[in-house]
């Protein structure tokens, strides 16, 4: 008989008020395996993690750790029992250095203990070296990029000597290189008999990394399979409960006139140089590349946030200088930003206010707000983009990620733009909403909009774009046709020959 699994959940139930987030989930994790957890947003993955890490107490069911049933799990006891979690959003102290963060996390010292900072620093250096991260232990966390912070989180989990490591979308903001580092770390953990619960929306990662996969749907487990015995279509079928016949809607018409033309565009302060390309009406130009390739920086130039200092921008044949977002909006450029929870949707404001934020001049020419017109417009977009909400008055924060993204998109569609720049429109969005957003983007292109799609999701860029601009090091490395071989795109992004 095989030894008891590291972690075993039986009939786990968790209710939030009247909402049944988990309705009897069974799950087990063996030593030395990577067990992927998959499911649409709201399927119960986060709730499961919160229960396992002791953040929330379950309403029913048992948690067994290495054969011992535990009850009354708190974050502190969970950590003492060897459970570590790396959350999507790093939870570090921004004003402290990396070494100080690691020391506070790993020692949880009593206030009177003397801190041996040189030891802490040495350990931080060791841990960072082990995961191959090039981060100084003396760097303030504030100065680190999001992926670097994630690596620090991983170093924390490593340093705590955890037996069970939970990773919640660890690659959402990592570059390809950092992803490979992470994968190596995960494999290293597995080798050492650690059990890893790995949550990701990216199926290719699951196939590359996991031993088994459990799919959650509506708070229930709909099956645990060895990864070797299932394919992508099968997983997607389990997740959404229906066959997704065609993931990416195809282009149906030839693109029209050139809308935007860039010539040798550059901006020294944001590290973008020498970018030239055209985008036509009805065309989706994907911008692929690694994090830090300069794609968001380019978008910010085009939206007037960091004005260009060299090269030219031509919109509909007119040369432009864009120094402010107001100018960009006035010229029909729309930018749906990357971090929708922070910049795309104002969580405290109702959907209707969010929606009309960029079009006050147009909808309210006499500056008096017309609530009827606002409501009608909001209802139109809610219907048009199938936003799931309780009505135009629902607050942005009450929506799921995919629906927030739709509201963010609707705000810009309401400006009737000629050029739409989408920055990571499907990041952290569940599979169902993702394919809806793809359909919307394709439909918008068909209606004559020129679309620039920035995405770190390689299959998305390749599948949805008519042409793919590959960026790297702040400049355009190649323009490839849509549907190119992923290896060719990646090679271009890395700047190597295929």
Give the interface with another protein as residue ranges (CB under 8 A). Answer: 16, 303, 305, 324-326, 328-329, 335, 337, 342-349, 353, 356-358, 360, 364, 367-369, 393, 411
- Neighbouring residues of 139: CB distance < 8 A, sequence distance ≥ 6: 97, 98
Taking the least distance from each CB to another protein, the nearer of 15 and 176 is 15
Rounded distance between C-alpha atoms, residue 104 and residue 96, angstroms: 10
Smallest gap from Cβ 395 to another protein, in A, equals 9
Rounded distance between C-alpha atoms, residue 426 and residue 423, angstroms: 9
Taking the least distance from each CB to another protein, the nearer of 75 and 463 is 75
Smallest gap from Cβ 192 to another protein, in A, equals 37
Smallest gap from Cβ 153 to another protein, in A, equals 23
Q: If we measure between CA atoms, which residue out of 105, 87, 94 comes closest to residue 46?
A: 87
Q: What are the strands of the beta sheet with 450-454, ordered from one edge?
A: 333-336, 419-423, 450-454, 284-288, 467-472, 475-481
Smallest gap from Cβ 303 to another protein, in A, equals 8
Q: Classify 123 in phi/psi space as left (phi over 0), alpha (psi -120 to 50) or beta.
A: alpha
Smallest gap from Cβ 354 to another protein, in A, equals 9
Smallest gap from Cβ 450 to another protein, in A, equals 19
Smallest gap from Cβ 492 to another protein, in A, equals 30
Taking the least distance from each CB to another protein, the nearer of 110 and 366 is 366
Q: If we measure between CA atoms, which residue out of 287, 221, 280 comes closest to residue 256?
A: 280
| Alpha-carbon torsion (463, 177, 342, 76), positive or negative | positive
- Neighbouring residues of 32: CB distance < 8 A, sequence distance ≥ 6: 190, 191, 192, 193, 194, 195
Taking the least distance from each CB to another protein, the nearer of 55 and 240 is 55
Go through 277-310 and write b for each residue having 16 or more CB atoms within 10 A of its CB, e for each that does not.
bbbbbbbbbbbbbbbbbbbbbbbbbbbbbbebee
Smallest gap from Cβ 59 to another protein, in A, equals 15
3-state secondary structure of 153: helix
Rounded distance between C-alpha atoms, residue 37 and residue 7, angstroms: 14
Taking the least distance from each CB to another protein, the nearer of 198 and 335 is 335
Token pair for 346? 């104002």
Taking the least distance from each CB to another protein, the nearer of 126 and 362 is 362
Q: If we measure between CA atoms, which residue out of 291, 405, 414 comes closest to residue 344?
A: 405
Alpha helices in 131-202 (DSSP H): 146-159, 176-191
Taking the least distance from each CB to another protein, the nearer of 68 and 368 is 368
Taking the least distance from each CB to another protein, the nearer of 198 and 303 is 303
Taking the least distance from each CB to another protein, the nearer of 69 and 324 is 324
Rounded distance between C-alpha atoms, residue 200 and residue 195, angstroms: 16
Q: If we measure between CA atoms, which residue out of 12, 7, 55 comes closest to residue 29?
A: 7
Specify which residues 10 forms β-bridges with. Answer: 62
3-state secondary structure of 142: helix
Smallest gap from Cβ 385 to another protein, in A, equals 18
H or E, element range at 310: strand 310-315
H or E, element range at 99: helix 98-107
Smallest gap from Cβ 351 to another protein, in A, equals 14
Rounded distance between C-alpha atoms, residue 328 and residue 341, angstroms: 22
Smallest gap from Cβ 413 to another protein, in A, equals 13
Taking the least distance from each CB to another protein, the nearer of 16 and 93 is 16
Total residue count of the chain as it appears in this document: 498
Smallest gap from Cβ 399 to another protein, in A, equals 14
Taking the least distance from each CB to another protein, the nearer of 5 and 425 is 425
Taking the least distance from each CB to another protein, the nearer of 264 and 324 is 324
Token pair for 466? 């008519």
Token pair for 201? 């929306």
């Amino acid at each position: 008989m095989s030894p008891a699994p590291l972690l075993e959940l039986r009939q786990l139930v968790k209710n939030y008020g009247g909402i049944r987030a988990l309705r009897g989930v069974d799950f087990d994790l063996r030593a030395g395996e990577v067990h992927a957890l998959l499911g649409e947003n709201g399927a119960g993955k986060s709730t499961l993690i919160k229960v396992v890490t002791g953040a929330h107490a379950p309403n029913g069911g048992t948690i067994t750790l290495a054969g011992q049933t535990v009850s009354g799990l708190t974050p502190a006891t969970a950590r003492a029992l060897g459970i570590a979690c790396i959350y999507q959003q790093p939870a570090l102290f921004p004003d402290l250095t990396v070494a100080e963060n690691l020391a506070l996390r790993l020692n949880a010292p009593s206030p009177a203990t003397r801190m041996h900072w040189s030891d802490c620093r040495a350990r931080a250096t060791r841990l960072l070296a082990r995961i191959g991260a090039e981060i100084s232990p003396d760097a303030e966390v504030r100065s680190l990029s999001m992926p670097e912070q994630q690596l620090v989180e991983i170093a924390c989990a490593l340093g705590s000597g955890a037996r069970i490591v939970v990773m919640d979308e660890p690659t959402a903001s990592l570059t390809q290189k950092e992803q490979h580092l992470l994968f190596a770390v995960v494999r290293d953990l597995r080798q050492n008999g650690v059990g890893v619960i790995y949550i990701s929306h990216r199926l290719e990662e699951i196939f590359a990394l996991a031993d088994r996969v459990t799919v959650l749907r509506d708070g229930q487990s709909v099956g645990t399979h060895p990864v070797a015995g299932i394919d992508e279509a099968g997983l997607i079928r389990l997740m959404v409960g229906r066959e997704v016949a065609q993931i990416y809607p195809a282009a149906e018409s030839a693109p029209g006139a050139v809308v935007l033309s860039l010539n040798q565009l550059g901006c020294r302060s944001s590290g973008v140089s020498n970018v030239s390309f055209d985008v036509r009406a009805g065309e989706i130009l994907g911008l692929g590349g690694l994090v830090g390739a300069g794609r968001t920086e380019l978008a910010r130039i085009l939206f007037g946030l960091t004005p260009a200092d060299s090269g030219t921008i031509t919109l509909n044949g007119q040369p432009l200088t864009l120094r402010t977002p107001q100018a960009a909006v006035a010229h029909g450029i729309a930018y749906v930003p990357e971090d929708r929870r922070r910049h795309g949707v104002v969580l405290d404001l109702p959907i209707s206010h969010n929606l009309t934020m960029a079009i006050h001049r147009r909808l309210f020419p006499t500056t008096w707000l017309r609530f009827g017109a606002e409501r009608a417009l909001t209802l139109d977009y809610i219907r048009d983009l199938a936003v799931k909400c309780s009505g135009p008055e629902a607050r942005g924060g009450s929506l799921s990620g995919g629906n927030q993204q739709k509201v963010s998109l609707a705000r810009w569609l309401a400006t009737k733009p000629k050029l739409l720049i989408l920055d990571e429109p499907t990041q952290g969005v569940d599979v169902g909403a993702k394919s809806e957003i793809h359909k919307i983007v394709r439909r918008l292109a068909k209606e004559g909009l020129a679309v620039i799609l920035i995405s770190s999701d390689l299959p998305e860029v390749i599948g949805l774009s008519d042409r793919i601009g590959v960026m790297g090091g702040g400049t355009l490395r190649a323009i490839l046709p849509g549907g190119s071989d992923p290896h060719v795109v990646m090679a271009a992004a890395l700047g190597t020959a295929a």
